Structure 1
Amino acid sequence: MVALRGSDVLDASQARILSAAGEVIGAGFLVAPDVLCTCAHVVAGALGVPDAGERAPGTPVDLDFPLLGGRPRARATVVSWRSGGSDVALLRLDVAVEGARPVPLVDGTGVWGHTFRAFGYPAGADDGIWASGTLRAGQGSGWVQMEAQEPGPRIAEGFSGAPVWDDQQNGVVGMTVAAHRGERTAYLLPSAELVDERTLRPVCPFQGLAPFTEGDAEFFHGRDSDTARVHKAVRGRPVTLVAGPSGCGKSSLVRAGVLPLLRAEGMSVSELRPVPGVRAAAVLARALTGILEPGLGEVGRLVKAEELAGLLDSGDDVTAELRGRVLARGASAGHVIFVDQFEEYAGAAEPAAVRRLFGLFAALAGKDGTAVPRVVATTRPDSLDVLVTAGTSDLVSDAVQFIAPLAADNLERAVTAPVDAVPGLWFEPGLPERIVADAGDEPGRMPLVQFALTELWKRRSRSMLTHAAYGDLGGVAGALVGYAEDALSELTRDQQERARRLFVQLARPAGGDTFSRSPTRTADLAPELLHVARELAPGKLVVLSPAPGGGEREEMVDLAHEALTALWPRLRQWLVDSRDFRSWQEQLRTDLKRWQTQHHEPARLLSGTDLAEAGHRLAGHIEDISAAERGYILLSRRHSRRGARLRQAAVGALAVLTVLAVVLALSTWQSLRTAEDQLRTQAAGLLAQAAEDRPGSDPATALQLALAAWNTRRTAKTGQALLHRWRCAPNRWAANGSGPTRESTACRRTGASSPWSPTGASRCSTPPEPATSRCHCRHPPARRTGYPRGRATRSGSWCGARAATSTGRTPCGTCATACRWTTSCRRRRNSTVSTSCGAAKWTVSPRWREARSLC
């Protein structure tokens, strides 16, 4: 709100002090909406009491405002009384007068040559008369001399208590207290002496690091054109996005500039600040529950908000019904939902959740028209990238209203206008220009300027903001750093370490080497950190505020302003040192929220390298990880171990099954072999039996059956059957004329005959001579064996080699009689045993290990 200027405000502040009989005694003027200033001797004259009394009179004083329409009357009671040299009385109106305005008090020193004007009621001029002239300098008494110009009225009796308006400073420099009789010289009491802070509570018109609110509208200046532009946009479209760099005053513009105008037009307003980590439907549901169910308690509101969030998540088109209910609950001209710090949600939540929340706002607002809710949100330009999609580009482009940092002239007005609005507060000449120059051109300079001005106001000297105090602060940037360091130095060493941990948790890494604020719920802070936060909150380094949608005692802890992360060197170094940990922690919180919103799905738990890193971080920063985050990590670890045990059990079971399969296969193979052996044995036995059962008239078939039995399975039975059929075969061949054409052969050495066997081999019926015999068998046995070396005599062998003859006797396998001769071949290393039955048997040699065969 812009204060009235010039004669308008001066006229609206002028009052006449009346006696009980209605006689005009003197003048007075408003220094506050309900506080009037005049001379103590004027009040004494109106009440008929001595003006030298030290105690304020208790009788009400009558007065009126002659320059206002209708000359409204009023009564006031003395609340501050300083008689004597000061000669000041402050009166509080019983009822504020409509149309009356307090004057701005300006510096009453250093006013030489300034022109002035004053309005008084000398004798014969009860309706008042204006006087003007030139201001001089102060006197030894503390009064300031002024000279009325000539020609023109002189300042005389009846001007006592009148305000002296400085045309150069555009404000009241003091109050008329005395005049020289018959001369044009008069005196004023400087404005610094008029204010009694016990009566006029000192009001700081600056906000420090906090944004302006609707209640601070009278101190919000420098954004007149931006306020008008955004106000027009909100009135003309359902969704408005106020975008600008951090620290440019987006929230202050909407709160102290736009919202008061909307309320003045009959619209109702509700505010919300999205909390990072809360799903989009729950953010909107909590805001709407406060509008639709204002009478509910905290528990009931939380239950209703959760139900409404479920409806919004279900996908049903409930926004149209909600829109109608919001309009029905709001004011007649409509309802405005103000979404503050939307960039905090956009920076911490998933892009899909951010777009979902923006889509819900757009759906609730509906289409253009008069009867629709309005949504206005503040955000940073980098957050717009998340909102822009193929379906929302038109809506976003129409909704955005960009706000630039204040230009130098607007910044100076933002510095000086709030001081002008506070009675008895002013700058030392040249100080506003010095502050604006020191602020520079940084986008986030406005919070720093406001903070420096707030600290300067605390160090004011007799209602004046001085160069000396500003220099002691260290300028605009030094004020913030110095204040933060002073606040930290008041803590103990242990508390300072906890403060470091607290500040690290209240900021998160942003793009590049920057950091942004990260509001944190008190429930997520360790008790010792919450204690430090409450210690720092009165100094405004951190801010405690009710948690949106939380319980009655749940609060949010936040940095006073994001400028602290860039301009406080100590905090910045803390944040740089913890960047890796905080980046990981923010990702962990995102995973935790996703797991919670997806109904604790096990697939969303940590695993693999993520779980390993979480275990490492937990071991190194266990105090900085909240209970919920710690529980999430431990649950992930248990789930991983359970999965590992299940995998181990599965591998073990697979190994056991594999071993069982191998054993079963071997067992099956062995069983098959055993069964095959049994079948072959049975088949061989049947063949042998069939050979035995063949009639003697068919020796060839019987012998073939015996050979087949022997080849099928070599057992004693098949061997005996083969030998039996072999032994019987020659005679039958000779008798029947069957068999080979040559029935026998004679040994070349001895002439002994040897019949042919069915296989073509011959049997020597006469053993060779021990020393000179030489075997001439045509067909040696099918298999030969070596013989062990030992003592032997030389003899001949079937192969023509010289052989050693052993005299040992070995039982014959055919007739069980001892052999007569044994010949051993030196070249083939085979041994031949001649038995009494005439059969030649090849024995197994231990060296060659070949199966023996019969010829």
Structure 2
Amino acid sequence: MPRRERPLNTDSGDARLLRFAADLRLLRKKAGDPTYRQLARRAHYSAGTLSEAAGGRKLPSLAVTLAYVRGCDGDVTAWEERWRELSAHPTAGARKGEGESGNGTEATADPASPYVGLAAFQAEDAPRFFGRERIMEELLSRITERRIVVLLGASGAGKSSLLRAGLLARVRVGERPWLPVLFTPGALPLEELALRLLPTGATLADLHTELAGDPRGLHRFVRQALIGQPQETEMLIIVDQFEEVFTLCEDQEERARFIDLLLTAVRSRTSRCRVVMGVRADFYAHCTTHPLLLEALSEVQVPLGPMTADELRQAIVRPATHAGCMVEGALVSRLVADAAGQPGVLPLVSHALLET
């Protein structure tokens, strides 16, 4: 088992961040203790995002925080003031979520914490992300050959971790000449896409109008954003938890426009865009209702199955080694025996190790 625990620095932002997260959980309890799935329907963010917001590992974005608070009938003004005060502290929220840092800088993973528990690995966790090397190479190869790839896997298989700590992290260090944009669709996928594209130019209102008004809007925007870049430079759009367009987006027209935008952008003759979509396997049938999406599914799928015994062993042992810790052999053997080949157990294994 890990021999070293991460100390709580009460003189830094750690204690304040943990109190912030604890008070979010208390707010949820006072609101009747809804499940995160129920809260997701109110807040229009995924259950995983909301759970992570109250986990205390990093400061959630202001948008996620306020959505959580609204879903629990909390005081939005008071919570916004509290968030801004915490965010302004130089050590608070040092590990913000992907796309939430506001200044484009990456946080450094805490080397004293080898495991991330129930949360997904983020791009900054790449140094301790192990066990998925083979499927990562396949995913990179497929998206290099084709302009759209669908990563399909069961809930808990590790799709988000692979997309973030695997694909996103490797593209960022220059393995491919691509500019990555990663997001989850949420209840308003067009708005989420526009928000993620803002750093590359335009205003939110103009960009949202362009995306909503024409299926070629994303294609044109990408080409315009890459003017002046080397010809081989392209934009890589990574849509994590793509199934949210079915679970959270209630507007069928917006859902259809969003899908059309992505597919038109990769199928245009002058395309400079590539798209990777992470899809939960039980939403495969939903995807087949869209003709062009069905075509994409039939062309390039990368199935993400359970880890083999060797992959799982690497995922358990190597993060600890990287952090200067060790895991007892008996514990490794027990976890591998119980979890190898089982779908959806990776978060539970990581959580068990984090709590050990």
Could you state the TM-score of these two structures normalised by the residue count of structure 2? Answer: 0.61
Q: Indicate the residue corresponding to 2:183 in structure 1.
A: 272
Q: Deviations over 1:434-493 (max 9, x none)?
A: 12223365412100110111112xxxxxxxxxxxxxxxxxxxxxxxxxxxxxxxxxxxxx
Structure 2: how far apart are the matches of 1:376 and 1:316? 18
| CA distance 1:273–1:243, change in 2 (3 Å) | same
Q: What stretches of structure 1 of length at least 5 have no aligned partner?
A: 1-200, 294-303, 457-855
Higher RCO, Cα 8 Å, sep 6+: 2
What is the 5 A alignment of 1:358-369?
358-367=259-268
| CA distance 1:236–1:308, change in 2 (3 Å) | same
What is the 5 A alignment of 1:23-42?
none
| CA distance 1:353–1:313, change in 2 (3 Å) | closer
Structure 2: how far apart are the matches of 1:323 and 1:226? 28
SS of 2:332's equivalent? helix
Q: RMSD of aligned C-alpha atoms? A: 2.5
Q: Indicate the residue corresponding to 1:394 in structure 2.
A: 295
Paired residue type of 1:414:
A
What is the 5 A alignment of 1:775-794?
none
Paired residue type of 1:346:
F
Q: 1:212 aligns with which of 102, 121, 125?
A: 121
Determine which structure has more spread, i.e. the larger CA radius of gyration: 1
Q: 1:252 aligns with which of 161, 165, 168?
A: 161
Structure 1: how far apart are the matches of 2:209 and 2:246? 22
SS of 2:117's equivalent? coil
Structure 2: how far apart are the matches of 1:305 and 1:443? 40
Q: Does 1:381 align with 2:281?
A: yes
Contact 1:347 1:383 in 2 (8 A): no
Q: Deviations over 1:155-200 (max 9, x none)?
A: xxxxxxxxxxxxxxxxxxxxxxxxxxxxxxxxxxxxxxxxxxxxxx
CA shift, 1:428, in A, is 2.4
CA shift, 1:291, in A, is 2.4
Paired residue type of 1:415:
I
Q: Does 1:224 align with 2:125?
A: no
Structure 2: how far apart are the matches of 1:348 and 1:202? 35
CA shift, 1:396, in A, is 2.6
Q: Deviations over 1:743-774 (max 9, x none)?
A: xxxxxxxxxxxxxxxxxxxxxxxxxxxxxxxx
Structure 2: how far apart are the matches of 1:272 and 1:207? 20
Contact 1:231 1:261 in 2 (8 A): no
SS of 2:186's equivalent? coil
Q: Indicate the residue corresponding to 2:211 in structure 1.
A: 312
Q: Does 1:344 align with 2:244?
A: yes
CA shift, 1:268, in A, is 2.1
Structure 2: how far apart are the matches of 1:237 and 1:368? 13
Contact 1:292 1:329 in 2 (8 A): no
| CA distance 1:437–1:274, change in 2 (3 Å) | same
SS of 1:430's equivalent? helix
Structure 2: how far apart are the matches of 1:440 and 1:227? 19
Contact 1:245 1:380 in 2 (8 A): yes
Paired residue type of 1:420:
T
Structure 2: how far apart are the matches of 1:387 and 1:316? 18
Contact 1:270 1:338 in 2 (8 A): yes
Could you state the TM-score of these two structures normalised by the residue count of structure 1? Answer: 0.27
Paired residue type of 1:406:
M
Q: 1:420 aligns with which of 321, 335, 353?
A: 321
| CA distance 1:211–1:330, change in 2 (3 Å) | farther
Structure 2: how far apart are the matches of 1:272 and 1:206? 23
Q: Does 1:406 align with 2:317?
A: no
Structure 2: how far apart are the matches of 1:318 and 1:374? 15
Q: Indicate the residue corresponding to 1:754 in structure 2.
A: none
Identity of aligned residues (%): 29
| CA distance 1:364–1:415, change in 2 (3 Å) | same
Q: 2:144 aligns with which of 231, 235, 250?
A: 235
SS of 1:452's equivalent? helix
| CA distance 1:354–1:381, change in 2 (3 Å) | farther
CA shift, 1:385, in A, is 2.2
Contact 2:154 2:343 in 1 (8 A): yes
CA shift, 1:202, in A, is 5.8
Structure 1: how far apart are the matches of 2:350 and 2:293? 37
Structure 1: how far apart are the matches of 2:215 and 2:142? 30
Contact 1:354 1:387 in 2 (8 A): no
Q: Deviations over 1:792-843 (max 9, x none)?
A: xxxxxxxxxxxxxxxxxxxxxxxxxxxxxxxxxxxxxxxxxxxxxxxxxxxx
As a proportion of its length, which structure holds more helix? 2
Contact 2:194 2:208 in 1 (8 A): yes
| CA distance 1:316–1:397, change in 2 (3 Å) | closer
| CA distance 1:421–1:202, change in 2 (3 Å) | closer
Q: Does 1:262 align with 2:162?
A: no
Structure 2: how far apart are the matches of 1:235 and 1:433? 37
SS of 1:376's equivalent? strand
CA shift, 1:376, in A, is 1.4
What is the 5 A alignment of 1:28-427?
203-263=112-172, 264-265=174-175, 266-276=177-187, 278=188, 280-293=189-202, 304-315=203-214, 317-328=216-227, 333-350=233-250, 351-367=252-268, 372-388=272-288, 389-423=290-324, 425-427=325-327
SS of 1:454's equivalent? helix
Task: Report the number of matched residues.
Answer: 242
| CA distance 1:402–1:345, change in 2 (3 Å) | same
| CA distance 1:313–1:346, change in 2 (3 Å) | same
Contact 1:358 1:387 in 2 (8 A): no
CA shift, 1:322, in A, is 1.0
Structure 1: how far apart are the matches of 2:344 and 2:147? 29
CA shift, 1:433, in A, is 0.4
Structure 2: how far apart are the matches of 1:329 and 1:270? 19
Q: What stretches of structure 2 of length at least 5 have no aligned partner?
A: 1-109
Contact 1:238 1:362 in 2 (8 A): no
SS of 1:426's equivalent? coil
CA shift, 1:233, in A, is 1.2
Structure 1: how far apart are the matches of 2:167 and 2:265? 21
